[in-house]
Amino acid sequence: MNFMRVLYTEWLKQRRGLLPWIVVGGPLMFAGMMWVDLYLRYSYLSGRHPNLSSWELLMQEGFMIWALFYPIGITLIAALVHYREYTDQGWKHLLALPVTRLSVYTAKWLLIWLLSCSAAGLLLIFMYMTGIILHFSEPFPLGQYIRYGINLCIAALGVVSLQHWLSSRLANPLYGMAIGFSGSMGALFFAQSEMMRFVPYASALFTMTVDNEDQWLAITTGLVAGPLLLIAGLVEFRQRDIH
Amino acid sequence: MSKWIMETQGLTKAYRKFIPVDQLQLHVREGEVYGFLGPNGAGKTTTIRMLLGLIRPSAGSIRIFDRELPRHRSFILRQVGSMVEAPSYYGHLTGRENLKLTCTLLQIPETEVDRVLDIVRLSQAQHKLARTYSLGMKQRLGIAQALLGNPRLLILDEPTNGLDPAGIQEIRELIVELPRQHGITVFISSHILREIERVATRVGIIHTGRLLFEGEMSELQRKGHPFVQLSAEPMQQTIDCLRDWGYLVEKADHGMNIMTDPAEASVINRRLVSHNIEVSHLSIGGRSLEDIFLEMTKGADSL
């Protein structure tokens, strides 16, 4: 109950802020880009991938850009959730109330993850709308897209835990964002290395459900790194002196 | 059951070699305004953060409402309102929305918002965004947040910081009213002696992390009790005479100070003249609270 109240107040704090715009605007912009891309190059792309349906083509064409921008979006969400506490000196007020640090830390984590999942969910909706606007003739492969959405949510776990802790630890949000952006930009290189492909920032690159045998990488990294980094961050947060 | 609503024993915070708070023994009674006084950097805020569970003490214990912190943290903090340094508020929300957030976390009805807005006289501005508030209004919003849930103990860290004289007066009146009208114990820190002098009934003076004095305000005022300043010739003979008559005499730059009731001045004068001692100066001296504080804190320059 205590946890739900903290989560509710965390959401209330974000009203009238940038956060809802990022969660809605990110996928919308991405879908817009996909629309332009397929509108202009549909014939060329379908010629290159004759075995793929239009819907699969849409996912195949867009997943890599999304995989790079998704961790950046999570970085921004985490930074904004914590930015409020630092700029408005909220930590000392919040943690001097009869709420546990466990509930505060996990509520913020859950909010960041839910917003990341919302962005992934909206991405699927906007991609569907893109296909409808482009008059794709094949039936929409709902299962394939839902699996892609689930993979994205699971892949987000590691990045959410990492960026959540960084943003809670570093008073200057720019530092946390710099690390998140660098990690996201390096994802392509991480993904090509046997060891480094388990770095959470690279996870989204393995989420696509069209001709991809490496989906287990996104799921494994998310399910292992997410909880582990969450617990490690929580342990540190509970010991932390609030100045 | 302890007679103290809040008590610390050997409270210490150490960061390697730096010890901002050292072996602090604080005793706060229910229903009083306790002034926690000390120059900037004396360790007041670190102490307050420890009292609120924001910082872990390196040693010592804290008991509030007869319970140990941090073991009974939730029970204690449910009855404590606080404002540490600058008030905390979310600038993009209105004053009322800020208070509603705290109500949700404290699990108290939203009707409380109106009550505290009335107390801090902020009802008119409740629907304005908090970032548009003046400094005094922000400070009052901070106090309103601290008052939510009818706390038994209010901990305020430098609540008049940065306010203009009118704002200071307003906050001061509010603080004095709280124990009288609402039965709230107030623990207030400040580096300004005059502030504490006007509101506090008991006082604790901290300097370089150590508690130099703790007691009633009147006890501190007695430390500055008046005395008789005297210049007379021959000086040694004067001192001998006064000591023979049972007076406590201290040599001073101008001659000597006689630690006695100023009403004795005329008697002393008559007796000295009758002993052919030439009295050239006789006046009443005394140390102000500020002098005492400065002496205690070894001339801290922040006053």
**pLDDT score at B300:** 46
**pLDDT score at B180:** 86
All residues of chain B having their beta carbon less than 8 Å from the beta carbon of residue A92 are 49, 52, 54, 84-85, 88
Between chains, do B93 and A15 touch, taking CB under 8 Å as contact?
yes
**DSSP per-residue codes, A91-122:** HHHHHTSS--HHHHHHHHHHHHHHHHHHHHHH
**Inter-CA distances, A77 with A122, A161, A236, B157, Å:** 15, 12, 21, 33
Cβ under 8 Å to A: B residues 180-239:
none
Between chains, do B90 and A92 touch, taking CB under 8 Å as contact?
no
User: Model confidence at B252, in pLDDT bands (50, 70, 90)?
Assistant: confident
Beta strands B249-252; B278-285: pairing state: unpaired
Q: Which residue has the tokens 């908090």?
A: B130
Count of alpha carbons within 13 Å of A208, Cβ hemisphere only? 19
Instruction: Tell which wins on pLDDT, B266 or B287.
Output: B266
Listed range (A68-72, A89-93, A232-236, B292-296) with the worst mean pLDDT:
B292-296
Q: E strands within chain A?
A: none
Per-residue pLDDT tens digits for B88-146: 889 989 999 999 999 999 999 999 999 999 888 899 999 999 999 998 899 899 999 99
**Inter-CA distances, B111 with A174, B81, B94, B108, Å:** 40, 17, 16, 8
Report how far residue A197's alpha carbon sits from residue A132's, in angstroms, rounded to the nearest whole number: 35
Between chains, do B78 and A98 touch, taking CB under 8 Å as contact?
yes
**Does residue A238 belong to the interface with chain B, where contact is any CB pair within 8 Å?**
no
Percent of chain B with pLDDT over 90: 54
Per-residue pLDDT tens digits for B41-81: 899 999 999 999 999 999 999 999 999 998 999 999 999 99
* Sequence-ordered list of residues with C-beta below 8 angstroms from that of B130, at least 6 positions apart, any chain: B89, B90, B91, B92, B93, B94, B95, B98, B138, B141
All residues of chain B having their beta carbon less than 8 Å from the beta carbon of residue A12 are 93, 97, 101, 104
Per-residue pLDDT tens digits for B168-227: 888 888 888 888 888 899 999 998 888 888 899 999 999 999 999 999 988 887 776 678
User: Model confidence at A84, in pLDDT bands (50, 70, 90)?
Assistant: confident
**pLDDT score at B303:** 42
Beta strands B202-207; B185-190: pairing state: unpaired
All residues of chain B having their beta carbon less than 8 Å from the beta carbon of residue A93 are 82, 84, 88, 102, 145
**pLDDT score at A127:** 95
Give A145 to chain B, closest Cα distance, Å. 37
Report how far residue B19's alpha carbon sits from residue B202's, in angstroms, rounded to the nearest whole number: 25
The full length of chain B comes to 303
CB A158 within 8 A of CB A180: no
Find the mean pLDDT for residues A182-197. Answer: 90
B86 vs A6, A13, A89: nearest CB: A89
**Does residue B64 belong to the interface with chain A, where contact is any CB pair within 8 Å?**
no
* Collapsed DSSP state (helix, strand, coil) of residue B176: helix
**pLDDT score at A58:** 93
Picking from A4, A16, A81, A97 by the largest number of B CB atoms within 10 A of its own CB, the best residue to mutate is: A97
Nearest CA among B153, B158, B128 for reference residue B142: B158
**pLDDT score at B295:** 74
Q: Does an H or E element contain B257, and which?
A: strand B255-258
User: Model confidence at B291, in pLDDT bands (50, 70, 90)?
Assistant: confident
For all residues of chain A together, what is the average pLDDT?
93
Look at residue A139 and tell me whether its pLDDT is greater than 90: yes
Report how far residue B262's alpha carbon sits from residue B264's, in angstroms, rounded to the nearest whole number: 5
Between chains, do A98 and B52 touch, taking CB under 8 Å as contact?
no
Find the mean pLDDT for residues A113-142. Answer: 95
Give A19 to chain B, closest Cα distance, Å. 13
Q: Would you give the end-to-end CA distance of chain B in angstroms?
A: 39
* Encoded tokens for B193: 């002696």
**Inter-CA distances, B267 with B128, B262, B271, B274, Å:** 67, 10, 6, 11
**pLDDT score at A131:** 95
Per-residue pLDDT tens digits for B143-158: 999 999 999 999 999 9
Between chains, do A241 and B107 touch, taking CB under 8 Å as contact?
no
Percent of chain A with pLDDT over 90: 76
User: Model confidence at B165, in pLDDT bands (50, 70, 90)?
Assistant: confident
Listed range (A193-202, B37-46, B92-101, B288-297) with the worst mean pLDDT:
B288-297
- Residue ranges in chain B assigned as alpha helix (H): 44-51, 73-77, 95-106, 111-119, 135-147, 165-182, 193-199, 217-223, 235-244, 265-274, 289-296
Look at residue B265 and tell me whether its pLDDT is greater than 90: no
Percent of chain B with pLDDT over 70: 96
- Residue ranges in B43-186 assigned as alpha helix (H): 44-51, 73-77, 95-106, 111-119, 135-147, 165-182
Q: Which of A83-87, A220-224, B250-254 has the highest mean pLDDT?
A: A220-224
For all residues of chain B together, what is the average pLDDT?
89
Between chains, do B55 and A243 touch, taking CB under 8 Å as contact?
yes
Look at residue B302 and tell me whether its pLDDT is greater than 60: no
**pLDDT score at A136:** 93
Picking from A5, A16, A89, A93 by the largest number of B CB atoms within 10 A of its own CB, the best residue to mutate is: A93
pTM for this prediction:
0.85
Between chains, do B101 and A13 touch, taking CB under 8 Å as contact?
yes
